[in-house]
Structure 1
Amino acid sequence: MILDANVRFEALSALLGTKVTSLDGGNPWKAAPVLLVGGFVKQLIPDSITISACSKFHPSTKEFFIDEKEFFDPGYDFDFTNLSDSADCMRGNEPYERPKGWYRMALKVKGKYPDGDAWLGTNGWRSDSVPGEWPVSYHGTGLEEARGIISSHYKAGNRQAYGRGIYSTPDLHEAKNYCKTFTSKITGKTYTVIMQNRIKPEKRQIHGNYWLIPVPEGTSAEEEKRIVESSIRPYGVLIKEI
């Protein structure tokens, strides 16, 4: 699969529910905030976001800029679209079914967290987990839905019965129910898109096909931020032509 660079921005825009464009195209008068990869999970999941020091997120924000060199890490992209093998894989001591049929746009996350990069495991083909690695989960939502996850809980199906917090699933087939779709103005093709994350195993609760990172009522914004950063980390955007 050959992915046009502009389709990357369309995919992010669909996933976040708001326009995302390249900083290379200019950010006149700082009219829109700069979205940093370290704040992407906080934009996608809870009701908070790390943006440039000069900007303040507001619900009416219609556009974000990103610095491609600091946001994407194409050296770690992987094309699963024609994957044919069925070898069993483990990640973080959990079964991992590689996303056959999808293309992964890697996010630039190496070196971004104070506890190092062990959570990512080692690069390259392997079937087994490595020490310190976190298991893989999937998550799909948009900006409007994201505001509701921390303010109440992720209201999707019967998952709300499990409590307040951040929901994702290790089952990509289940995650497809929450994918975002868009038709590219560049290629004219229709795509579906979803996030690929790593979850800290000791921070999660397992409820059937769902993994919950609990965020109790009354948790401060600062503590919510800490919970998110220490518990769930997106490292790739999966995209597939429909």
Structure 2
Amino acid sequence: MPNPDLCLEALSALTGCKVESTTRVSQLGPQDIVNVVALREFYKQEGLKELDYPSIGTLSLENVETMDMYSSPPALPEPEESYTTSVKINIQDFFDPQYDYDFTNIKDGGMTFMRGNEQYFRPCGWNRAALHVTKKYDGGDRWLGTGNDAWPVSYQGYNMDGAQGIILARDKNPDDEPSFLEAGAASLVTEKTRGKGVYSTPSIQTAEKYCKTFKSKVDGKRYKVLLQNRINPEKRNKCQREDVWVVYIPEGSTDIQKRAIVQESIRPYGLLLKQV
């Protein structure tokens, strides 16, 4: 497992909260992390300035830098300058080191991997700290498997959900920065994908363009951070751009309904770190 204190810093960067260690019961579990990441960006889409979340309370959305949807996100400021809310997690219960996997020096080349009838683009170049999510959900752990009934893999970055421009992006070259179509050329293909929602991507390269970067207090180095998730194929909608998926949240949904939609649709299982 990567340095536990480094993982806490990465969770802080993702959630916008100061995440600290405790030997007691965690205030947040892995599912809460993806809920907070998704909902805070969705609420920013809605133009709201606060997010109320159980066990956290009111989380300000104003103390995080604003992202220009037509450019790559800036680096995260120093934690003390950004975090006004603190939460505590029990590292031993939160992480599951037996499933850690260091992809830092791995290159898949032409190899193809599948998860739930979708191609799985492994996070080569990243180090994964596994989250403790086995035996946590009704229906068993088939969603986390490798067979046809498993859920596909998606990646989520802090800025992805709030970047409405991502759904209009088309890369001329995989190594280029995204170029954006005119906003009028809406690229959503079904009625259910029109409107605001929670965005993720099966492409680790696309996710990296929208991830958070933070400077560690542990070693003074800079890291990128992402969540590696499984996404419910029945809840996920594909945008016209194939490397963007959206879970639509209907207009008028209550806070409880929004949280339930995220929980039914996206389950995290890995915290990804990459040294810049």
The normalised TM-score by structure 2 is: 0.72
Which residue in the other structure is 2:102 paired with?
A: 79
SS in 2 for 1:6: helix
Q: Deviations over 1:2-45 (max 9, x none)?
A: 72221111111111122111013x89xxxxx8222232222111
- Asked if 2 retains the 8 angstrom alpha-carbon contact of 1:118 and 1:131, the reply is no
SS in 2 for 1:3: coil
**Which of 206, 210, 229 is residue 263 of structure 2 equivalent to?**
229
SS in 1 for 2:258: helix
Amino acid at match of 2:103: F
Report the RMSD for the aligned CA atoms in angstroms: 2.3
Which residue in the other structure is 1:218 paired with?
A: 252
Q: Deviations over 1:57-100 (max 9, x none)?
A: 12255211101122111111100011134321011111112111
Which residue in the other structure is 2:47 paired with?
A: none
Matched, 1:67 2:90: yes
Q: Deviations over 1:114-166 (max 9, x none)?
A: 12211000xxxxxxx40320001111117xx9xxx6xxxx3431538542111
Matched, 1:179 2:211: yes
Change (3 A) 1:116 1:77: same
Higher helix fraction (1 or 2): 1
- Asked if 1 retains the 8 angstrom alpha-carbon contact of 2:15 and 2:33, the reply is no
**Which of 24, 30, 33 is residue 37 of structure 1 equivalent to?**
30
Matched, 1:88 2:112: yes
Which residue in the other structure is 1:118 paired with?
A: 142
Amino acid at match of 1:14: A
SS in 1 for 2:59: coil
Matched, 1:132 2:149: yes
Counterpart CA distance in 2 for 1:49 and 1:118 is: 29
Change (3 A) 1:19 1:172: same
Amino acid at match of 2:92: K
Amino acid at match of 1:42: N
Counterpart CA distance in 1 for 2:214 and 2:275 is: 10
- Asked if 2 retains the 8 angstrom alpha-carbon contact of 1:35 and 1:50, the reply is no
- Asked if 2 retains the 8 angstrom alpha-carbon contact of 1:42 and 1:50, the reply is no
Which residue in the other structure is 2:43 paired with?
A: none
SS in 2 for 1:99: coil
Shift of the alpha carbon at 1:217? 0.5
Residue ranges of structure 2 left out of the alignment (5+ in a row)? 40-50, 61-83, 169-185, 187-193
- Asked if 1 retains the 8 angstrom alpha-carbon contact of 2:2 and 2:129, the reply is no
Counterpart CA distance in 2 for 1:115 and 1:102 is: 30
Counterpart CA distance in 1 for 2:116 and 2:88 is: 33
Counterpart CA distance in 1 for 2:19 and 2:152 is: 29
- Asked if 1 retains the 8 angstrom alpha-carbon contact of 2:52 and 2:58, the reply is no
Percent of aligned pairs sharing the same letter: 44
Which residue in the other structure is 2:16 paired with?
A: 17
**Which of 156, 159, 169 is residue 164 of structure 2 equivalent to?**
156
SS in 2 for 1:188: coil
- Asked if 1 retains the 8 angstrom alpha-carbon contact of 2:115 and 2:148, the reply is no
Q: How many residues align?
A: 215
Amino acid at match of 1:174: T
Change (3 A) 1:101 1:158: closer
